[in-house]
Amino acid sequence: MSITTILTSLNNLEKLHRSLLRIAYDKTAVIKNGDMEGLDQLLKDEQSHLAAIIQMDGLRQRDVAQYLADQGRSASLNPTVTDLLDVVPEADNKSLEEARDRLLHAIHDLKWQNDLNQKLTYQSLQFVNLSLDIVRPRSESVNYSKTEISGQKISKEQPSFDSNA
């Protein structure tokens, strides 16, 4: 197992995260415009990207574990690139760090954009709830009356049958 395979996995992960970031940017525009059909399609695209990222990350973990095993090192349950930095030769160390930093930067940008989208969605929901509250009729009383609290109910209706007759 060579470092080149791991670098390829990291580069592919970065590309997938950048593509997911583009979807997040598109999602921001769609949320601002209120396009629900567009948002639905972007969510489907996002799900397929996430499945590809999970699969690619599994391959990366397998490759890292294999490289560590080839070097006679034990691998943790979820081996990371940081685990490799102590093992790889100096020539490969720099390229591995650069690939890791690019991927971390893409993940950071994606997290920031997703936080923004979450806030925009929350504000949209607040606006919808406010609009519904304005349109929806209010009930007369939300409090209990004095007679309901004491357990006495005074009926204003007269019975239609007089049992004393």
**CA-to-CA dists, residue 151 to 8, 109, 141, 145, 156, angstroms:** 76, 61, 18, 10, 16
**pLDDT at 1 > cutoff 80:** no
Would the pTM of this model clear 0.85, i.e. be above it? no
- Identify whether 158 is part of a domain: no
DSSP type of residue 1: -
Domain assignment of residue 146, yes or no: no
Six-digit token string for 26: 């598109």
Mean pLDDT (the chain) is 85
The parent domain of residue 44 ranges over 3-136
Give pLDDT tens digits for 95-108. Answer: 999 999 999 999 99
Q: What is the pLDDT of residues 19-39, one digit of tens each?
A: 999 999 999 999 889 888 999
CATH number for the domain harbouring residue 99: 1.20.58.300
